[in-house]
Every structure is written in structure tokens, then in C-alpha cells.
Chain A
Amino acid sequence: MIVTTSPATISPAPRRAASATAIAGLVIAALVAIALPAFTTGYVIYIANLLLVFVVLCLGLHIVIGETGQFSMAHAAFYGIGIYASALANRAVDLPYPFAMLFGALVAGAVGLFIGALALRMRDIYLALATFAFGEAMQWVFANWDSVTNGPNGLRISPARFGSLEILSDKQAYPFVVLFCVLMIGLTILISRSRLGRAFRAVRESEVAAMAMGIDVRRTRVIAFGLSAAIAGFAGGMFGLFQTFIHPDSLGFQTTILVLTMVVVGGLGSIVGAVGGAIVFGLISEVLRQAPQYQEIIYGGILILFMMYAPRGLFAFIGDRIKEVRRGQ
């Protein structure tokens, strides 16, 4: 075989076409993002802020589902832990807001490590179930731990401070939200390319082979889960940059499904997919707000149809079609 036989290889062209589509989209998105505050209203900025928070949530879910191939059904819970923890830290101590954000991420990550370490004692399917139950339980905690979360009345979030600068509007918060979002994208890329990221993918592709390469499979899975929870917690801190109020109702399974749908639409397993999916589907769901009674059917239908016909996501799907058309000519 060293004498080269017929290379039965499929050219990497569809992937390249897919990532070209996605990168073009991202560049446009970035330009729009920078130019945005100049000529839009506060509401649009608010939506943009929220969208960027969801980008970071998607990055977190990407680490656990996309890279490591395991489930987390409690992303809304970790997001919520991040929101409450950073809001409370911000209120308790007089430090610049990023410290509160880090605190939120650490608390969420620590809880994630604990749940992950427990659930991963058995086969990985338990992770899906245990996190599902954990998500429900956390929403209950948010709604009932009155002394900390102010229970079902919701918690007022005091404005974020950077030294003497106090953030009072969506427009003021926007550059910081963009900055933190870009930082998290950078961090995720770094992790994904690193030795740890390779271990994540090795575990996803073949546990036995990963073991033979000297990778501690269980530890790697727990780390992925904890890291993913920490990123979701960080997204919670970003939320506190521009939001003044949090209510437990917005931290339920619905939000987990929304993030999952975004990642699925963008394409499981690629960072570009996670980010692109958050933006594309975030905009779609904003439009869907006009017809709330169809929302569930559409989310569910999208999940099913993508799994059936485009499991690698929208961008890969478009890339493949482009390639087919080209080949047809």
C-alpha cells in the first residue's frame, strides 16, 4: 500500500465550500456588529446583545456535544447559575464587573464538574438524564430559594461597573458584550486546537482507542462537561452587563432546547457552526416571536428535519448543494 493504490478518497472540497459559506457569513456578521450602534435603535442593540450571549451559550454546548459527543440538558441551569452568581457578587463586593463574571463562571463550572463527575460514573446516557433532572431541579431552586434569588418575583440586577464607569444602557454595554463574545470565541478555538481539544474529539470518536493512547476517558468527559458549564456561566455574567432583571421562568428547559437547536442548525462539531447557528437561528426565533403559538412546532420540526436531512448543519448543507450544482454544470 506504500506503492500508492487508487486513492479512494473524497476530496475535502465540500467541507471547504461549507466553511467558505460560513466564514463569509461571519465576516458580514462582524461588520454588521461593528457598524450596528451607529444607526439603530436601542431595541435592536438589545437583541444584538442577547444574540451574542446566546453565541457564548452555544460555544459552551459545542464543547460538550460537538467536541466530546456527550449530552448536557442543563445548559439553561448553568446559564442561570452564572446570572445569579455574578449578579450577587456584583452587589456584594465593589470590584469591576469582570470579576463578578469570572465568579459566575467558576460557580457554574464547579457545579458542572460535580454533576458531571457523578453522572459519568455510569454509561454516558446517564449524563443526559441526570442533567435533564438537574435542569428541572435548578429552575425550582431559582424560583424557591427566596433569600438568595428573590424567588418567583425575580431578581433585580444592579448595573455593571468598570471602575468609575457605570453601564446603564444597552448601547453602553454593547462594546463590552462584543468584546467578551470575541474573547470566548478565541478561547474556544484555542481549547479546540489544543491537546485537550484533541482528547475531547478522540473520546467522541472512539473511547477504546483514546484509552490506548493514554487518555483518561472519564476525566476528559468530566472536564469537558465542567468547561462547558463554566462557559455557560460566563454567558450568564454577560447577560448581567445589559439586563436589569432576571426571572426564573426564562431559565427552563425551553432555553436549553433553544441553544441546542441553534447548535444543531449551525452544525454539530464545528465552532463556525455553533457561532453561525446562534446568529442565524437567533434571528429566526426573533421573527418567530410574532407567532408564539407556532414556536414549539417550528423548533421541534427544525430539530427533526435537520437530524433527518442535514445532520451536519445548515452551512455544510448549503456547501454540499453548491458543490452539487457546480458538479452538474
Chain B
Amino acid sequence: MSIRLRRSTAPTLAYLSLVVAALVVLLPLAGILLTSLKSSKEMADGSGALALPHDWLNFSNYATAFSDGHMLTAFGNTAFILLFAITGTVVIGSMTAYAIDRFTFRFKKLVVGLFLVATLVPGVTTQVATFQIVNSFGLFDSRWAPIALYTGTDIVSIYIFLQFIRGIPISLDESARLDGANAFTIYRKIIFPLLKPAIATVVIIKGITVYNDFYIPFLYMPSENLGTISTSLFRFKGPFGAHWETISAGAVLVILPTLAVFLFLQRYIYNGFTRGATK
């Protein structure tokens, strides 16, 4: 009897905890979504954040947020940075991994150690001094500052490539070499194409990190026309002050692409972040 009782209550409690957790995650987001569809008049009548909007198709706040919040420029800048930062990371990471895994050379231990120790240095702490260096290159207040920093300080992707490259049989390299291919041709024609799954992982992790990053564009691109997704949304705070319906619409606009990517690439995203974080 007691066993049967336990069998029936434990799952109920488990489901209850899951539902509560899901509500905790979803309610704050629902509040923003509902608010983004309300008119300023509805906002003023004090019906509360979770009151349903009168018109579910009232997208005027989105139009305001998109045009007055300069979201088009923001998406453009973010896309530009994404393109170069991701390409750079993939090329640099795979080349480093190839060199470290396929060659023996002097100071290899030292080089590997340098990359390893660098993972321990949190980027937020060093920006005080990094700022001076970026500035001395004349990159301050340009889109190349974040691109250089994202490409130059990503060690996690080197590890992802390293892990993967070890699984590619060395005999492939050797037979290509017998056919007269040099190291660069082997990298380009054999190794790089076989790295596709690792590249997908790096593109996803890097893409989401860069899309969401606030700190670096905030520090290095203060100009009005150089806003990224994050910094442009942050600037909503001033002009839209208490206009929560507009701010909410802006936030939803920023979250939607993430949601779409997540729904389409779920499996890769889980794998990517598990691999990225444990390395």
C-alpha cells in the first residue's frame, strides 16, 4: 500500500515542480510580450502587466521600436560583426588546432600552455588595459574593435577544433602528402572540410555569444550609428523612459531571432554548449 502511494504521489510532485519552474521562466517573458501589444492608453488604465491586450494584432509599438530605436542599423552592425568575427574564429581556431595536433615543434609545450592559461583570464577584468591597446591601433569606435577582440580571444573554439581534429585519421594526411600535397593544401582540402561538425558547433556558440554581448560594444563603440543589438536596446532606456510598451516591443524584437534559431537548431545548441563549456 505504502509503495503504491509513493508511486502515485512522487510523479505528481515531480510534474508540479516542472510546471512551476516552467511558469517561473515563462511569466516574466509573457509580461513583456503582452505589454508590447498594448496601446499607451491601455498602459495608463492600470490593469496590470498580465492583463490581455485589447488588440492582439497591435504591432504599432514594434514599428516605433524598430524605426525610432534604430534597430535596422543595429541588426546591420551586429550582422557585420557576426560575419567577420565568426569567419575569423573558424579560420584561426582550425589553423591553430591543425598546427598543434599535426606537428611537433620546439616550444610546443610553451605555446599550448599560453593558450591554456589564457582561458583562465576573464575578459571583463582586463578591459581596462585592453582598451588602451585597442585605442592605440586606432580601432576605438569602429566595428573592427569587437571583431578583433572576438576573434583574438576565443580559446574555447580552439579546443573544440582540437578535440575534433584528433579524430581525423592521420593516414589521410599522409596519403595526400604522398600525392605531393603540402601542409597548407592538406589543411585546406582535407582537414578543413572534415571539420564541418566542429565548425557548426563553433558557429552556433560564437554566433549566440556575439549576438548577446553587451560589454564589448558598449565600451568600444559609443557612437550613435554604431549600435549593436544590445547597445541599441540599452539606449531605449533614455528616450522611451516610461514607455514600457515600446521598450517591451524592442526586447521582443531582440529575443525573437534567438528563439527562432533555438527552435531550429536545438540539438546542435545543446551539444555545442555542453562541449564548449566543459573544455
B is bound to A: no
List residues of chain B with CB under 8 Å of any chain A CB: none
